[in-house]
Chain A
């Protein structure tokens, strides 16, 4: 998708300062892109923890409610969630800023996905771990906190990193409700400078770089944990 008129420009090559200009403009969005991603991963990660716990509950009704929540959240497209929250909630006198709406929306979505990731992590822990903890007199909560969760987290880490990268990309959708993140600025410079190709190509490059950073960090943690403990 190129901005109107960009095809009529002879070439964008040769204008080093223009590339720099666009790059600096688009870069202004890095902050909010990372902020939305990190905040949503954080809140979604916490809510997801409770959802995963609920999915293990002995009360069938609670398990059912969690399953329903997770499935409903996951089948609605992210952009629909954002519109629902940003344009829909004000009808209930709940007016959120664009940034708040984006973080709430992505947190809701992240909570469902994180719950599933935790669940697979939990399933990978051998039953003997729980039995050993119980045989040692440790209660349900102590066992969950000190024995199961740390191990499940290690197992889940690669999946969490993959999801974080997915979330980073999805955060571009926040531009549609006007959050000043990378894609928003790319759109601005595409319109103002008639440089659609260059603006969005630079935005794409930024997403690649940020994704690589997340991937490298998670890989490092993963390798360190594995060297140390031989698990995960």
Chain B
């Protein structure tokens, strides 16, 4: 089943993948991220795992400049930003944010807007879409995440799982080249988390390029093509999911996996 984005010609935009090289971030002399490299094919799903404080979220948030990296290069969907420059010009920053969609741990829906308005506002302001077009796209995305009847509700009336699915729909409405997920199920109880994971799994099956910071080891193993393990602000190892889970090459990875899987 293809992702139905209304009348758009290319349901999943041509992304050209993700290429991050030598990304680093430091506060003064305190290095929180160093030499992170990642190359993703279009349509690839990569999970980022690792202990807390490893820099997983910081890395993800650098990719759309919610955090400003201090070194390295980011190339996503034709947008290219060098962190060596003082600060990227507005045009490339706008471009970068347009080609990345982000889903947050705390959903961050706009509470004063209905579900429909949450999904149409960015389309109208960023893509300059017409009201009709934006609502058409929103309606089909709501169907896609299984919540077509919630268009007129306010976020406060929805469960956490429903809110997160709406947040996914809102990000998808801008047809990003890559979707960034920052612990999308960590604020949900395990059972509710499953409905969000199911939506993400469908998205992966449809060929969306996805980068997922997660503690859901089943999702990491079953859905992602590769797993990147981070620790202490750097990459410990990156490899095919099956291999990283069953036969990690780094001792720290082994410790971490043992700790989470033995729970």
Say yes or no: is A93 at the interface (Cβ < 8 Å to chain B).
no
Is A231 on the interface with B (CB-CB < 8 A)? yes
Chain A contacts of B177 at CB under 8 A?
none
Contact B121 A146 (CB under 8 A): yes
Contact, CB under 8 Å: B125 / A230? no
Q: Assess the B102–A137 pair: CB atoms within 8 A.
A: no
Chain B residue nearest to A150 (CB atoms) is B112
Docked complex Cα distance between A134 and B106 (Å): 15
**A130 smallest CB distance to B (angstroms):** 9
Bound-state Cα–Cα, A142 to B94, Å: 13
Taking a contact as CB atoms under 8 Å apart, the answer to whether B111 and A134 are in contact is no
B112 contacts across to A, CB distance below 8 A:
150-151, 154, 229, 231
Q: Which residue from chain B places its CB closest to the CB of A136 in the assembled complex? A: B122
Which residue of chain A lies nearest to B90 when distances are taken between CB atoms in the complex? A139
Q: Are A229 and B156 in contact (CB under 8 A)?
A: yes
Collect the chain A residues with CB atoms within 8 Å of residue B157's CB.
230
A129 to B110, CA, bound (A): 7
Known: A128-B104, A154-B112, A231-B112. A135 touches B154 (CB 8 A): no
Q: Which of A128, A133, A135, A150 contacts B100, CB < 8 Å? A: A135
- Partner of A137 from the list B110, B111, B122, B156 (CB cut-off 8 Å) is B122
B110 touches A135 (CB 8 A): no
Partner of A136, one of B106, B111, B156, B174: B174
> How many angstroms from the CA of A119 to the CA of B98 in the assembled complex?
30
- In contact, B156 and A131 (Cβ under 8 angstroms): no
Q: Are B104 and A136 in contact (CB under 8 A)?
A: no
State whether B110 touches A138 (Cβ < 8 A): no
Closest-by-CB residue of B relative to A141 is: B125
Say whether B255 faces chain A, with CB atoms less than 8 Å apart: no
A129–B125 touching, CB < 8 Å: no
A9 within 8 A of B: no
Least distance between A58 CB and chain B CB atoms (Å): 12
Interface of A is mostly: helix
CB of A204, distance to nearest CB on chain B (Å): 39
- Please give the distance in Å from B106's CB to the nearest CB on chain A: 5
With a cutoff of 8 Å between Cβ atoms, the chain A residues found around residue B102 in the complex are 132, 135
- Per-position 1/0 for A138-167, Cβ under 8 A of B: 110010001100110010000000000000
Chain B residue contacts of A139, Cβ below 8 A: 94
B64: chain A residues within 8 A (beta carbon): 134-135
- CB proximity of A184 to chain B, nearest CB, Å: 42
Contacts of B108 in A (CB 8 A): 126, 128-129, 131-132
Is B211 an interface residue, CB under 8 A from the partner?
A: no
Contacts of A132 in B (CB 8 A): 102, 104, 108-110, 167
In the complex, the chain A residue whose C-beta lies closest to that of B125 is A142
Q: Which A residues are in CB contact (< 8 Å) with B155? A: 229-230
Q: Quick one: which of A49-91 are within 8 Å of B by CB?
A: none
Q: Does B192 belong to the interface (CB within 8 Å)?
A: no
User: Separation in Å of the A133 CB from the closest CB of chain B?
Assistant: 8
Residues in A neighbouring B121, C-beta threshold 8 A: 146
Q: Taking each of B101, B106, B110, B112, which has the highest tally of chain A beta carbons within 10 Å of its own beta carbon?
A: B112
Shortest Cβ gap from B186 to chain A (Å): 14
- State the Cβ distance, B118 to closest chain A Cβ, in Å: 10
**Contact partner of A231 among B104, B111, B125, B126, CB < 8 A?**
B111
Taking CB atoms, residues of chain B closer than 8 Å to A133 are 110, 122
Supposing A146-B125, A151-B112 touch, asked if A135 and B66 sit within 8 A by C-beta, the answer is yes
List residues of chain B with CB within 8 A of the CB of A146.
121, 125
| Nearest chain A residue, comparing its CB with the CB of B123 | A136
Which residues of B (171-187) have their CB < 8 Å from a CB of A?
171, 174
**Alpha-carbon distance between A132 and B104 when the two chains are bound, in angstroms:** 8
Residue from A133, A135, A142 having most chain B Cβ neighbours under 10 A: A135
- Minimum CB–CB distance from A153 to chain B (whole Å) comes to 9
User: Residue of B at shortest CB range from A139?
Assistant: B94
Q: Verify B156–A135 contact, CB threshold 8 A.
A: no
Q: Which of A131, A142, A230 contacts B111 (CB 8 A)?
A: A230
Bound Cα distance from A176 to B121, whole angstroms: 50
* A136–B154 CB distance below 8 A: no
Contacts of A147 in B (CB 8 A): 110
Nearest chain B CB to A44 CB, angstrom units:
24
Give me 8 A-to-B residue pairs in the complex whose CB atoms sit less than 8 angstroms apart, sorted by A's number.
Answer: A135-B102, A135-B171, A136-B170, A136-B174, A137-B122, A137-B126, A138-B125, A230-B156
Q: Which residues of A contact B (CB under 8 A)?
A: 126, 128-129, 131-139, 142, 146-147, 150-151, 154, 228-231
